[in-house]
A and B are shown apart, each in its own frame.
Chain A
Amino acid sequence: MTMPFYASPEQIMRDRSEYARKGIARGRSVVVSTYTDGVLFVAENASSALHKVSEIYDRIGFAAVGMYNEFENLRVAGIRLADMRGYSYDRRDVTARALANAYAQTLGGLFTDQQKPYEVELCVAEVGPGPEDDQMYRISYDGTIIDEPNFLVMGGQADALTSELRRTFTEGLDLRGALGVSVRGLGSVGGNGAPRTLPANQLEVAVLDRTRGSRKFKRIQGAVLTALLPAATTGGAPAAEPAPADTPPHDEPDQDGGSAGNSGDTPS
């Protein structure tokens, strides 16, 4: 059979989407949710040095899943843009919406122009004076931007985790409550059926806390985090096995046995 010389644009875009989605699904999940004092980021992250969650500006935080070098590049770009805006106008003029739009513009352009799309999904969140002012934006690999209420999930088994959180999440929880919902949610997927108990050293947790001084971002680590975590899930494995790498490299075979090079046109 001869190789086709022509591939329709739909086919090219679908292949790219498939590629990016698979890359993002390979890694571990991140949950971003609101609580009484602001926005909570909880990422399953076995590394203590390579962060998925970061501060961007006074009231703005960043979280990402997918390929580390790609989202690290975007994280630094976001900090540069925010600092430049704040310097040339005023600190209060820097908004998550402007940053999310900039990311959408960049990712959208990259998706169309480059041979390989960025395998990343980003969240930009901003905390306001009150809960009704808090914002969370999700930006996908193709530049799609969605303004999410209450919570959002990225990476790993995002669909299963979203269904779980829709069941368990409520508005207006305190930090301990919101952390419990997110951590139990993360533990409910990814194991072989049984729920996992995630200890502090496999989590990366941070908040945008509106009650803090000018810089609202704060990491919660170590003993402070351990004290806030929910008690171990009964009946589950005592501690989850951390993934050898958070996003396995491309040359490892896919867990689901599907071949990435399959040029079938199954709708996704």
Chain B
Amino acid sequence: MSIDRFSGADAFPGVLRHAMAPGSSSFTEFLSAAAPELLPKPHLVSDIAPHGTTIVAAVYDGGVVMAGDRRATMGNLIAQRDIEKVVAADDYTLIGAAGTAGIGIEVVRLYQVELEHYEKIEGTQLTLDGKANRLATMLRGNLGLAMQGLAVVPIFAGFDTAASDAANAGKIFSFDVAGGCYPERYFDAIGSGSPFAKSSLKKRWRPGMSADEIVRVSVEAVYDAADDDSATGGPDLVRQIFPVVMLADDEGTRRVPDADLDVIVRAIVDQRREQPGT
């Protein structure tokens, strides 16, 4: 009975056989070995699958904001009015995904588990740069085909607890189809409405804004994107559906309540009534 106990998955009986094999602290890598069918499947871009659409991120004095619209479209149809594209990846970071909605949600969910998994195994969190890099690696490795089909593009932002200057601890990272990870200094946007959102932010964003100011500017950027992109949803005052706006600062992540957004959106609408433009 000289079974080599380190002969891989066969050495350990039962449900834990894959879990007992030596490996890294990455949940995605573990899934590839133990249950590859659970990983998000790459799809080709198609009008049959719903598409998600404009997400902006910007730094402010003391943190970073991320705002995303609520619309999912299927060709010319609105598939969902209140889809949430911006979520907290962990206690100090935010992630948003644009593109095929189903894949985006899976990617985000997998990434949240990836970060928590690392923390539980290692006993410590990754650094912010490590988390961004990990997201890039996940995109590159498991979803290479998806990225070639442009199915999902994420944007990642967070408060860097290791930064020396809390006022400038907010950081943003964007990603490209090759899985590259790029720190963005001031603001960025992704999705079909991102050119309009970025043009809006270009005029309204300033360094060192307060939380209230940055929320106003971000909501306005999504509003401007919705104004020119049919795939981006504007605020729905009738149903009280507003963009998801989340902040990450030294106290962690929080979502701006709909009641506050209602006030901001009404102010924007009133101002635009004065200067409608085309």
Contact = CB atoms under 8 A, between A and B. Distances in A.
Contacts of A88: 35, 38
B121 interface: yes
Contacts of A54: 120, 123
Contact of B123 (A51, A77, A105): A51
A113 B38 contact: no
Given A51-B123, A56-B120, A86-B113, A80 B27 contact: yes
Interface stretch (B7-15, B62-70, B143-151, B193-201): B7-15
- Interface size class on chain B is 20 to 34
A58 B133 CA distance: 26
Contact of A106 (B16, B38, B116): B16
A106 B13 CA distance: 5
B178 interface: no
A76 B121 CA distance: 6
B15 to A, nearest CB: 4
Nearest to B2: A115
Residue of B15, B16, B17 with most chain A CB atoms under a 10 A cut-off = B16
A207 B266 CA distance: 47
Contacts of A103: 16
A242 B14 CA distance: 38
Contact of A81 (B16, B109, B121): B16
Given A79-B121, A105-B14, A114 B5 contact: yes
A77 B14 contact: no
A86 B120 CA distance: 14
Contacts of A73: 20
Interface in A32-81: 51, 54-56, 73-74, 76-81
B1 A105 contact: no
A84 B34 CA distance: 9
Nearest to A58: B116
B19 A76 contact: yes
A102 interface: yes
Interface in B1-57: 1-3, 5, 12-20, 27, 30-31, 34-35, 38
Interface centre among B3, B15, B27, B116 (most CB of A within 10 A): B15
A115 B1 contact: yes
A143 B116 CA distance: 29
A88 B13 CA distance: 22
B110 A87 contact: yes
B117 interface: yes
A48 to B, nearest CB: 11
Given A76-B121, A87-B38, A113 B27 contact: no
A114 B3 contact: yes
A80 B30 contact: yes
Interface string B220-252: 000000000000000000000000000000000
Interface of A: 51, 54-56, 73-74, 76-81, 83-84, 86-88, 101-103, 105-106, 108-110, 113-115
**Leading 4 A-B pairs by shortest Cβ distance:** A109-B13, A105-B14, A77-B19, A80-B19
22 contacts: A56-B120, A76-B121, A77-B20, A78-B16, A79-B121, A80-B117, A81-B16, A83-B116, A84-B19, A84-B30, A87-B38, A88-B38, A102-B16, A103-B16, A105-B13, A105-B15, A109-B12, A109-B13, A109-B14, A110-B12, A110-B13, A114-B1
